[in-house]
Structure 1
Amino acid sequence: MKTDIEISQSTKLEKINLIAKKLGLSEKDIENYGDYKAKINLPIKKQKDGKLILVTSINPTAAGEGKTTLTIGLGDAFNQINKNCAIALREPSLGPVMGIKGGATGGGYAQVAPMEDINLFFTGDFPAITEAHDTLSALIDNHIHHGNQLNIDPRQVEWKRVVDINDRELRHAIVGLGGRTSGVPREDGFDITVASEIMAVLCLSNDLKDLKNKLGKILIAYTYDKEPITVNDLGVTGALALLLKDAIKPNLVQTLEHTPAFIHGGPFANIAHGCNSILATKAAIHSADYAITEAGFGADLGGEKFLDITAPKIGKNPDAIVIVATIRALKLNGGVNKNDLDNENVEALLNGADNLGRHIKNMKQYGKPVVVAINKFTSDTINEMKALDQYIKDQGVKAINTDVWAKGGKGAIDLANELVAACDEQHDFKPLYNKNDDILTKINKVVKNIYGGSNVELSSKAQSQLKAIKKRGWDKMPVCIAKTQYSFTDNAKLLGAPNNFIIHVRELQPRLGAGFIVALTGKVLTMPGLPTHPAALDMDIDNDGKIKGLF
């Protein structure tokens, strides 16, 4: 059996100019990065107002769900039924690529390509975001070193450094050691690049002007008098923006079946807002009859954040929502050991299906049509498929079996036809919370109506931060909850669909540039670590430049 990279390398791609032409884009609308990649020039050319489909999933498990693979295969399926379609995805981070999760280019015969380039630096967006972030860090410390005219309290510098790799050693650090010429010693630390507020700002900006406006509002520190200091106060907004002048442009590539794919931005949904850039999504909506986008991790994280944070910025709500699940993953949620997932177990499947049931209920409350896509595995039995199909029918939605990993677009034709019909239905969108609700009310609504929890408990630090947020008038912004992706709770080991639990908020971080408040819960980390056996150990490149071991 071929690996993903072998399948990708054996596929003949079309020149990117031909892919752009399918979308009505001329050579003036794109900037080529070789034969198979391009940047889309701004402003985004508006030709259509296509339908928007959001793909999300159950909570991720070690058994695999295949949400990105399904998104890509679904885009191919739309073109199989002669519907003009484009997809919009996030870019991969080197952290999971070199770690354990893998890349973000799909799998089997449902991939975006060239997968090696996309997984490894791509068009340089992530390096640009990393450099812009760390340039700001250097400018902050340089300002303090050279007289500190803004009266910045070094103990209250909120802006950490970033690097786009999982490196637990950098979570906490002391900088400025080495004497008077090496700066002012202070505590610092590193986040992964995908957690950077600059990543969120870039993904939520409409153009360069909007980007500069958001960059300027970023909170970087407080004075000794506890007054907030922003990028505008430091006077470096323009410098950061020019470092991002190319990174803000969406990237255009293709699937193995030559469906256009916009891939841009990459915030993680467990520690950030988890959606590709609004510019990429708009590019898909404005150039195709159907635009398909994916939100990170489960519907409790990326799905909720797309609907409550990203969609209002786009100015369009989804016309339909797809929830991806697998029988294997639901059995694992039902208590089956990972090594026994190939054995039939209808009882465990139905126990674990409550996880899917809650996600269905959650997405239905937004008022839009919901369809469940069951990704097929060879170990799925007829009894299990019948039981799950009946369970999903009892939730008041349709279940469609898909097999895009093995069949590409042909494996999701039934799902595509179902979604065409769903997108034609007229349904009013129902937001989860009112934008004028205060932060604690918004957190409570997410916890009770999405997670299934009973209450929110704030640490003493978070309580103090909440008072300061209210005092400064920042409490009307949306909330972005940072939480483990593996559970509805803030405990990664509690699978299934627990009830009546408490979510523990340890810290509230104002993200004034991005326009939301981050609530850090439980033990979630903004700098992950590498596993015992990182994927990097299996990678290589031969003397002819051919890459091996990249999935």
Structure 2
Amino acid sequence: MIQPEKMPEMPNDLQIARQAKLRPLGEIARGMGIREEFLEPYGDSVAKVKLGAVEELSDRPRAKYVVVSAITPTPLGEGKTTTTVGLGQAFSHIGKRATVAIRQPAMGPTFGIKGGAAGGGYSQVVPMELLNLHLTGDNHAVTAAHNLLAAMLDNHIHQNDDFFHVDRHSVTWRRVLDVNDRVLRNIIVGLGPQTDGIIRETGFDITAASEVMAILALSTSLRDLRERLGRIVVASDTGGNPITAEDLKAAGAMAVILREAIKPNLMQTFENTPVLVHAGPFGNIAHGNSSVMADLIGIHAGDFLVTEAGFGADMGAERFFNIKCRASGLRPDAAVLVATVRALKAHSGRHRIKAGAPLPPELLAENPDDVHAGAANLLKQIENVRLHGVSPVVAINAFPTDHASEHAAIRSIAEKAGARVALCEHFTRGGAGAVELAEAVAEAAAEPTSFRFLYPEEATLREKIEAVATKVYGASGVEYDFGAARQLDAYERQGFGRLPVCIAKTHLSISSDPNLLGAPMGWTLPVREVRASVGAGFIYPICGEMRTMPGLSRHPAAERIDIDERGEIVGLS
């Protein structure tokens, strides 16, 4: 590998993105089998795809369906989006046509510490400024629809409607905003004269954490979207009965706000591979996958549909298999696990990586023994993919600071576990750098599949939670706080027991404790609270402290973002 001192200087992501030679979107769509009449252009570089394209493409052959996940990531992330884009590009290098489907980035993290989410280097979605900033306004539509419901709920409380009385202490529906702002986590509303409403405690979450976002991502049609919105539970009445958006007569107006947002957005990669960008549900408390609508289009648009699942395979991929695939009816043919030298070294417990801080020098020193010491995490995530009957392919996402001996260590670990392995240099070389990965994925996807859900629909909520905890996380059991146990019993009585579960926990460990690295065993999953996203169609037990409204760092990315004298954006990464 090229050592850091010899590495030629590489342009940054924004500079690379501006080198892209974009093709007309009509041409991109035609390559997918989508006629131009199904496109609604938003400028020159992005277009909405009308929902009629689903039926238009339905008689075309089905693409191989590939999900990209990862080992448990460090706070810096391991390059899942970059790998997803690089793999999509690489298929054209082996004579195959691919479509990529990814989530839309949240603007809060873009202006915070994380930066954008368009991929990176020569494997990114372009124009990256459009993708990271507003795009076609879908996130803002989610914000507006969510907050309309909050306003109508508070108005109902204020008007003291005789139809039903809201138990103010039962209200679970907060407001949302697509900005990182810690001071809004807990607020008091209704201050001032009596005409300004009833005083009560509430707060804001980031828009990506909204149930409306999860609904947008899981809906299979406009009608399905409308019905799911109506099922949202926001509070209980004084008799303990759930109050829904339909009860408040808010769901119809919410659907109107989201009428355009349900249409997936068509863009392209640096190498002109089609990309469907749609929805961005939070990966901690929601399922962390792009939309079903995008997949229903992409599954008939080429030879391969490559999509991404958030965080490690214990989180995004598990939810992809057990929540998204239940909603869409689609079944995966292969799964990619992105692994990096730095993450496996971190899982050895010998190095600490902190977001926003330089990597420790000892982490960059050649040490394949540290890679082997962190191997348990990779092995468990391979097992987690196989639990669902899907063939895993390990993608070694190479960094210039890696060493050949460390890559060899990852290859040895994965091959001994029976997984296919590919070394990837798509960040610096684009699709050509992921050809080995494309060939391995094509081989895996050609094998007969035996996809299966982790648990049956008719299992109880406790049985579902315990299946994920023990089989996927490696826990020895589950412990429920008294309140959580009561909530589970109530949801079973209310008829929500057939819903899948989406366990809200840290993404920095397979366990619920972010400090436990590798693949910890013999621990107990603590469920302190259980909430219902009835509209989205899942129950989410909360294990540990979940931040649903991030804060800004001491020096957020927003400080570096500006407009130059030509009106071009600078500092975006």
Normalising by structure 2, report the TM-score: 0.94
Matches within 5 A, 1:399-414: 399-414=421-436
CA contact (8 A) 1:30 1:41 kept: yes
User: What secondary structure is seen at the aligned counterpart in 1 of 2:451?
Assistant: coil
Aligned residues: 551
**1:375 corresponding residue in structure 2:** 397
CA contact (8 A) 2:348 2:374 kept: yes
**1:82 corresponding residue in structure 2:** 95
CA contact (8 A) 2:421 2:440 kept: no
Q: Unaligned 5+ residue runs, structure 2?
A: 1-9, 352-358
How many Å separate the matches in 2 of 1:290 and 1:4? 26
**2:406 corresponding residue in structure 1:** 384
- Residue identity in the other structure for 2:344: L
- Residue identity in the other structure for 2:513: N
**2:354 corresponding residue in structure 1:** none
CA contact (8 A) 1:157 1:220 kept: yes
Identical positions, percent: 46
Q: Aligned match of 1:112 in 125, 137, 147?
A: 125
How many Å separate the matches in 1 of 2:42 and 2:372? 48
Worse-matched range after superposition: 440-449 or 453-462 = 453-462
**2:447 corresponding residue in structure 1:** 425
Matches within 5 A, 1:206-217: 206-217=220-231
User: What secondary structure is seen at the aligned counterpart in 2 of 1:483?
Assistant: coil
**1:292 corresponding residue in structure 2:** 306
CA contact (8 A) 2:69 2:310 kept: yes
CA contact (8 A) 2:102 2:278 kept: yes
Q: Aligned match of 2:507 in 469, 481, 485?
A: 485
User: Does the alignment pair 1:455 with 2:477?
Assistant: yes
**2:266 corresponding residue in structure 1:** 252
User: Does the alignment pair 1:56 with 2:69?
Assistant: yes
Q: Deviations over 1:485-540 (max 9, x none)?
A: 10011121222111111111111111111111011111122222222221111111
Matches within 5 A, 1:329-408: 329-337=343-351, 338-339=359-360, 340-408=362-430
Q: Aligned match of 1:178 in 186, 192, 195?
A: 192
How many Å separate the matches in 2 of 1:433 and 1:165? 36
Normalising by structure 1, report the TM-score: 0.98
Deviation of 1:383 (Å): 2.1
**2:21 corresponding residue in structure 1:** 12
How many Å separate the matches in 2 of 1:314 and 1:167? 34
**1:317 corresponding residue in structure 2:** 331
**1:169 corresponding residue in structure 2:** 183
Deviation of 1:84 (Å): 1.2
- Residue identity in the other structure for 1:174: I
User: What secondary structure is seen at the aligned counterpart in 1 of 2:299?
Assistant: helix
How many Å separate the matches in 1 of 2:187 and 2:97? 51
Matches within 5 A, 1:509-528: 509-528=531-550
CA contact (8 A) 1:490 1:523 kept: no
CA contact (8 A) 1:50 1:289 kept: yes
User: Does the alignment pair 1:442 with 2:468?
Assistant: no
How many Å separate the matches in 1 of 2:93 and 2:370? 36
User: What secondary structure is seen at the aligned counterpart in 2 of 1:257?
Assistant: coil
- Residue identity in the other structure for 1:373: A
User: Does the alignment pair 1:538 with 2:565?
Assistant: no
User: Does the alignment pair 1:132 with 2:145?
Assistant: yes
**1:279 corresponding residue in structure 2:** 293
- Residue identity in the other structure for 1:377: F
User: Does the alignment pair 1:193 with 2:174?
Assistant: no
Q: Deviations over 1:106-131 (max 9, x none)?
A: 00000001100110011000000000
**1:93 corresponding residue in structure 2:** 106
**2:256 corresponding residue in structure 1:** 242
Deviation of 1:63 (Å): 5.3
- Residue identity in the other structure for 2:13: D
User: What secondary structure is seen at the aligned counterpart in 2 of 1:55?
Assistant: strand
- Residue identity in the other structure for 2:137: G
User: What secondary structure is seen at the aligned counterpart in 1 of 2:240?
Assistant: coil
User: What secondary structure is seen at the aligned counterpart in 2 of 1:409?
Assistant: helix
CA contact (8 A) 1:503 1:522 kept: no
Deviation of 1:353 (Å): 1.5
Q: List structure 1 segments (4+ residues) > 6 angstroms apart after TM superposition.
A: none
How many Å separate the matches in 1 of 2:521 and 2:154? 46
CA contact (8 A) 2:396 2:407 kept: no
Deviation of 1:214 (Å): 0.5
User: Does the alignment pair 1:3 with 2:17?
Assistant: no
How many Å separate the matches in 1 of 2:568 and 2:244? 46
How many Å separate the matches in 2 of 1:466 and 1:487? 25
CA contact (8 A) 1:126 1:164 kept: yes
Q: Deviations over 1:379-429 (max 9, x none)?
A: 222322222211111111121101000000001111111211211111211
Q: Deviations over 1:284-342 (max 9, x none)?
A: 11211210000011101101000000012111111001100011111111124341221
How many Å separate the matches in 1 of 2:250 and 2:77? 44
Worse-matched range after superposition: 250-259 or 11-20 = 11-20
User: What secondary structure is seen at the aligned counterpart in 2 of 1:86?
Assistant: strand
Deviation of 1:48 (Å): 3.0
How many Å separate the matches in 2 of 1:159 and 1:400? 45
User: Pairwise CA RMSD of aligned residues?
Assistant: 1.2
